[in-house]
A and B are shown apart, each in its own frame.
Chain A
Amino acid sequence: MTEKPIVRVSHVSRYFKRGSERVNVLNDLDLNVPEGQFLALMGPSGSGKTTLLNLIAGLDTPSEGEIWVGDRCVSTMNESQLARWRNEHVGFVFQFYHLLPVLSAYENVELPLLLLPLSAKKRREQAMTALELVGLEDRNSHLPSQLSGGQQQRVGIARAIVTDPTLIVADEPTGDLDAKSAHEILDLLGTLQRSLNKTILMVTHDLRAARRADRIQHLDKGRLVDQPDESLYEAG
């Protein structure tokens, strides 16, 4: 792991208009994430952690400030550029997996590759490699409904890494899983980080999950805080 920041969040604010009222979600926030680091973002509900994740992953744009991922300034891209950038550079892991129910595990993993100029053979190779990495190569033809929650999340992770992204963002990846499955998923994320040198940003409420990360950042009222009130978090 190097200390070179792959994610640079500089003076970022995000606010929304609600009628005539301005709601500040993030306030002048700075954050650097070195390449290959596993960062856990924690904070009480409404603290702005999902908003921060959305901004870094290119799902939203900041009201003020800049966000750089690698050598690209994400905050100035338009919707079309962001979609292309997300496809190539960001892998997403969702709390509720969000697999397409009509597609098999393999087809779900292959989905992001359909947008890239790859041959069918190359797509198959990459999708099967991703499924092997999460240990589900023998379940590639199963539909999501034929898989357990933990297996579905592993398919979700395979889909997130299949394009070999710069960054993996995970929103409560263990939030819908039992303790054993959650443990396996966190092991898998840790393995991906160490063996593939992936940078991982994970939002979680679960302190035990957060402790599996290299670094924990706490958010409160739209700002990063050093000394969080740990009683706010469930022990999990």
Chain B
Amino acid sequence: MKFLMLIFKNLRRNMVRSLLTSAGIMVLVFVITLIWSILGFLDMATSEKAANFKGIVTEKWSIPSQLPFSYAATLEDGAAREESDVKPMDSMTWQFFIGSVDKTNIGFSTFIFAFCMEPKKLLTMMDELDSLQPGPRATLDTAIKAMEGNRQGIIVGQKRLAAIEKKVGDKIKVFGINYRDIELECEIVGTFPPGRYDNNTCINRDYLNASLDAFKAAKGRPHPLAEKTLNLVWVKVPTKDAFSKMSNQIDSSPMFAAPPVKIETASSGVSNFLAAYKDLLMILRYLLAPAIIITLTVVISNAISISVRERRKEMAVLKVIGFQPNQIILLVLGEAILLGVVAGAISSIGTYYFVNRVIGGIPFQIAFFSSFPVLDGALWWGAAIGFITSFAGSILPALSTRSIKVVDVFSKVA
């Protein structure tokens, strides 16, 4: 602690250099925080959970998966036929409805991407919504109850709501794009909490199915997609073993002959989606991120090397008056680490709050993810990156102070 003052003052010796080095650290930590957040988020999405597995049931041979809705009840039951068969803890059907609030003008300000489902499943099956804090959970629950009371009720993400210039309570007509000639007259009953579902919309599945029935009644023929409305089913099982058993039940069920279905873990399903981005993610993970860390180390090493070279005489004086070589090394390391940790922490903490609170996520479209939150780990990433890179960058310059000879101090060169 006694030397902290000396470390601080040495950093203030050349404010321009210290500030420029800090700025360099902040920029690089900012970039690496974004990269690691995206990669970390995708890792979480593709990593197998130890418990509470989600299985995704989709059409076996066709992408996009389009199953008849008649599959839903059996799949939600895990295709259990015997008493001893495994049944899901919970399940959920997904039907995707893509539409526009303006029939002729389809664009960002009119576009609607909705998943049609049982409203109550929002709070039990949807990632992040199943772990909301009490306040936002109660607000969403109110909207869900409104959807259950009025099947035309919809919940819209806050950004989407702003984009279509509507508010809660407004009524909108959504013209189907994938469900051609299906028009849904909806009432906005609530919004999703800010974050992952900012651009999504939730429609009660009963309303979509009823609209398809109404189409058939009106036109005298079924809608072309009438037997292809179920895109996927999620089933939640407690263990990996239960998942395997249910997988066997579904694979062996005679119910799913045409079209056949497959079940895979949610993480495996997401991984398949991300396969197309493998090269990009590899570059981010194994090239860009290490390159940034190496650059950061070199920046710090350069600044500290210059600083040490300029102060060799001073360090000789410190040795003359009794400082041990290791104490001089610690002073140099202390300067670098203080600079690295403080600048790194400011950068990553600032990035965390700016991205998550101000711009609502990193806008980076990859697969079906349109934005990524900066992960909570970023709160300490900056300090850790700053510590490691500043230590690595300054260790050689610091060790070079061992070669400073105390007798140099009496040389006649000022």
- Chain A residues with a Cβ under 8 A of chain B: 50, 53-54, 57, 59-60, 79-80, 83-84, 86-88, 92, 94-96, 98, 100-103, 107, 111-112, 114-115, 159, 171-172, 176
Contacts and interface: CB of A to CB of B under 8 A. Distances in A.
Given A98-B317, A103-B6, A86 B12 contact: no
B236 interface: no
A102 B321 contact: no
Q: Which 5 pairs between the two chains have the least Cβ-Cβ distance?
A: A87-B322, A102-B9, A98-B317, A96-B414, A59-B406
Nearest to A57: B320
A173 to B, nearest CB: 12
B409 A115 contact: no
Contacts of B318: 111
A100 B322 contact: no
A86 B321 contact: yes
A87 B414 contact: no
Interface in B335-383: none
A98 B324 contact: no
B10 interface: yes
B407 A60 contact: yes
Contacts of B12: 102
Contact of B320 (A86, A107, A172): A86
Given A98-B313, A102-B10, A86 B322 contact: yes
B410 A54 contact: yes
Contacts of A100: 314, 317
Nearest to B325: A79
Interface string B119-159: 00000000000000000000000000000000000000000
Contacts of A94: 317, 409-410
Interface of B: 2-3, 5-6, 9-10, 12-13, 313-314, 317-325, 327, 406-407, 409-410, 412, 414
B201 to A, nearest CB: 61
Nearest to A45: B412
A107 B4 CA distance: 13
B19 to A, nearest CB: 16
15 contacts: A54-B410, A57-B320, A59-B406, A80-B324, A84-B322, A84-B324, A87-B321, A87-B322, A88-B322, A92-B321, A95-B412, A102-B10, A102-B13, A103-B6, A115-B321
Nearest to B408: A59
Given A102-B12, A114-B6, 7 more contacts: A80-B324, A87-B322, A88-B322, A101-B13, A102-B13, A103-B6, A107-B5
Contact of A98 (B2, B323, B407, B409): B409
Contact of B407 (A59, A107, A112): A59
B3 to A, nearest CB: 7
A50 B410 contact: yes
A113 B176 CA distance: 81
A107 B318 CA distance: 13
Contacts of B314: 98, 100
B410 A114 contact: no
Contacts of B320: 57, 59, 86, 92
B410 A115 contact: no
Contact of B319 (A83, A102, A176): A83
B3 A114 contact: yes
Contacts of B409: 59, 92, 94, 98
Nearest to B411: A50
A196 B406 CA distance: 27
B384 to A, nearest CB: 29
Chain A CB within 10 A, most for which of B2, B3, B406, B414: B406
B21 to A, nearest CB: 17
Contacts of A111: 6, 318, 321
Given A98-B313, A102-B12, A102-B13, A112 B410 contact: no
Of B12, B13, B318, chain A has the most CB atoms within 10 Å of the CB of B318
B9 A114 contact: no
A58 to B, nearest CB: 9
A79 B325 CA distance: 9
A115 B13 contact: no
Which of B2, B319, B323, B410 is packed against the most chain A CB atoms within 10 Å? B410
A149 B3 CA distance: 27
B229 to A, nearest CB: 73
A159 B322 contact: no
A67 to B, nearest CB: 15
